[in-house]
Chain A
Amino acid sequence: MSAVTEQRLLRRGGVRALYAGNARAVVGRGLVATRSSNWVVMASGFFEPVFYLLSLGVGLGALIGTVTDATGREIPYAAFIAPALLAVAAMNGAIYDSTWNVFFKMNFGKLYEGMLATSLGPLDIALGEILLALFRGAVYGVGFQIVMQLMGLNLSWWALLAVPAVCLIAFGFAAVGMGVTSYFTTFQQMEWIMFVLTPMFMLSATFFPITIYPEPVQWFVMALPLWHGVELIRGLTTGVVGPELLVHVAYYAVMIVVGLFFTTRRLRALFLD
């Protein structure tokens, strides 16, 4: 058999050629690495949304007073902004892990080349790295939920579901983030990520209701993933729950599937083809 046909056969191998069913090895390695090197960095990420909540919820809350929610109820500004900050924390936790970390591992550590030289396939690596990012998002989410509870900003028992919602959001962003990162080759290009994330952070109905914008802007914002995350968690923590929350869940389900597919293909193209 010639080398070319052999390669073709391998490429047609479907999932088995990509996935050895051992993503947990990648997760385990990541956890050990976190414990030994950058747990302080990880822990400090928890404080970011808390600082935002203290500054904006309290300071800006004093200027703004209350906000009218979807059902016409007046809620304190801090209770309005806290779920948005929780969604942002989930996004940031996932993005930092799936972009900066992956960038270093890919370009400096040459970690994935090493992993692919074992029985692990690109899907193991993609899934393992994304699960790590997910774990980080979940840790931030639980910590922030506790802060919200202590500050009396959870207005409903539905808030308990905010933790799985945080995981969903983190999963979506991590899946896409890793694939995108694989295109970057220099430090400076990484700033493009902030260039995309910061406007999304500020415009996704985070600080004020989306109805303030003119309608075309509203449609644009509603296309952004973070808006769906903010609305999902805000619905849960303020207790405005309806079938529209399932639309947000579906958005993330699609984002996860597309992100995983795209990242796996990229890893295969980069390292195996």
Chain B
Amino acid sequence: MGTASLTAEARAAAVASRRFGAWFVAEHHLRVWRRYLGVSVATAVGTPFMYLLAFGIGLGVLVNANTGPAGVDGVSYLVFIAPALIATSAVMIASDEFSYPVMQGLKWNRVYFGMHAAPLSARQVVDGLMIFASIRIAATTLVYFLVMAAFGGVPAATGVLTVPVAVLSGIALGAPLFAYSASLREDRGQFAVMQRVLVLPLTLFSGTLFPLDQLPAFLQPIGWLSPLWHGAELGRVVGYGADRPGWLIAVHLVFLVVLAVAGWRLAVRVMRGRLDT
């Protein structure tokens, strides 16, 4: 083989990696996913049923007994929580995929350095994980949506839009988390701490199991900052046509998009700092 054809082959490969690099990275993550697909599928299918049983039915009996036929926000308790539970699962996956695995790629198995030497840019490495996480979140929340819909939890025809809303909520939490995880050099339990003092409060005080205004005023701002609250409220609008003012819907959307885009850009910057050295 002559030098000329080798050069041409290398050029072709370089073009492919420049154009599709992020997708190659996503493919890598998808293949790795196969290794924990068992527990992933079990959780994706089992959790919505468990939520239905525990919250939709069990807690619903208590809530409906107290609120009477008016229900919560004008609908039955199950319909009220279903969009929020779909968004919750998205946020949970995001906090999974953008914590330990990021440190693993940078520190333990250093696969991101391998990709960067491949050569893929730091941006493509970030985009690839974002694409993969979006796929995983979309697949899981679709299962949730189908289970919830099968039990009458999502009455409106627009309800299927809870899936893209959930993906947006997941990325809005996941992208800034990615930037943070990528900035860590050592594992000193920051992830466990962050899970408890950041992700958990953002989940608990975000109007998922009850309307946010049921909380005392000093706890409500936690919900305003939570991507999950904005995602759950948007989900309620598309899920059962919750009556929300147009400006508030716009605020929800803008907040999520800004968080996702800003986090994503920050993640690219941090990853450049780690990889381009």
Residues of A within 8 A of B (CB): 37-38, 40-41, 44-45, 47-48, 51-52, 54-56, 58-60, 62-65, 67, 77, 186-189, 191-192, 194-195, 198-199, 202-203, 207-208, 212-213
Contacts and interface: CB of A to CB of B under 8 A. Distances in A.
Contacts of B219: 54-55, 58-59
Nearest to B67: A63
A195 B43 contact: yes
Interface stretch (B188-196, B250-258, B261-269): B188-196
Contact of A40 (B36, B193, B216): B193
Contacts of A62: 210, 214-215
B185 to A, nearest CB: 15
Nearest to B49: A199
Contact of A65 (B66, B196, B200, B216): B66
A191 B210 contact: no
Contacts of A44: 192-193, 196-197
B43 A208 contact: no
B232 to A, nearest CB: 13
Given A59-B210, A63-B214, A207 B59 contact: yes
A59 B58 contact: no
Contacts of A187: 100
Contacts of B51: 202
B204 A56 contact: yes
Interface of B: 35-36, 39, 42-43, 46-47, 50-51, 53-55, 57-59, 61-63, 66-67, 72, 100, 188-189, 192-193, 196-197, 200-201, 204-205, 209-210, 214-216, 219
B39 A59 contact: no
Given A55-B205, A198-B50, A41 B189 contact: yes
Contacts of B58: 203, 207-208, 212-213
A188 B36 contact: yes
A52 B205 CA distance: 9
Contacts of B192: 41, 44
A55 B190 CA distance: 23
A60 B39 contact: no
A271 B206 CA distance: 47
12 contacts: A44-B197, A51-B204, A54-B204, A54-B205, A54-B219, A55-B209, A59-B215, A64-B62, A67-B62, A188-B35, A191-B36, A195-B39
Contacts of B210: 59-60, 62-63
Given A47-B197, A56-B209, A62-B215, 12 more contacts: A40-B193, A54-B219, A62-B210, A63-B214, A77-B62, A188-B35, A188-B36, A199-B50, A199-B54, A203-B50, A203-B53, A213-B58
Chain B at the A interface: mostly helix, strand, loop or mixed? helix
Contacts, number: 108
A195 B46 CA distance: 9
A64 B63 contact: yes
Given A56-B204, A60-B59, A45 B54 contact: no
Given A67-B62, A208-B62, A51 B201 contact: yes
A208 B53 CA distance: 11
Given A38-B189, A45-B196, A208-B61, A64 B66 contact: yes
B222 to A, nearest CB: 9
Nearest to B72: A63
Contacts of A55: 204-205, 209, 215, 219
A228 B216 CA distance: 33
A58 B219 CA distance: 10
A208 B201 contact: no
B230 to A, nearest CB: 17
Contacts of A64: 59, 62-63, 66
Nearest to A66: B66
A207 B56 CA distance: 12
Contacts of A63: 63, 66-67, 72, 210, 214
A40 B66 CA distance: 40
Contacts of B35: 186, 188
Contacts of A208: 58-59, 61-62
Given A202-B54, A207-B54, A188 B39 contact: yes
B204 A52 contact: yes
A211 B78 CA distance: 19
A121 to B, nearest CB: 30
Nearest to B209: A60
The 10 closest A-B pairs by CB, nearest first: A188-B36, A55-B204, A41-B189, A202-B54, A62-B214, A191-B39, A44-B196, A59-B210, A44-B193, A208-B58
Contacts of B204: 51-52, 54-56
A59 B209 contact: yes
A38 B188 contact: yes
A191 B215 CA distance: 32
A63 B60 CA distance: 10
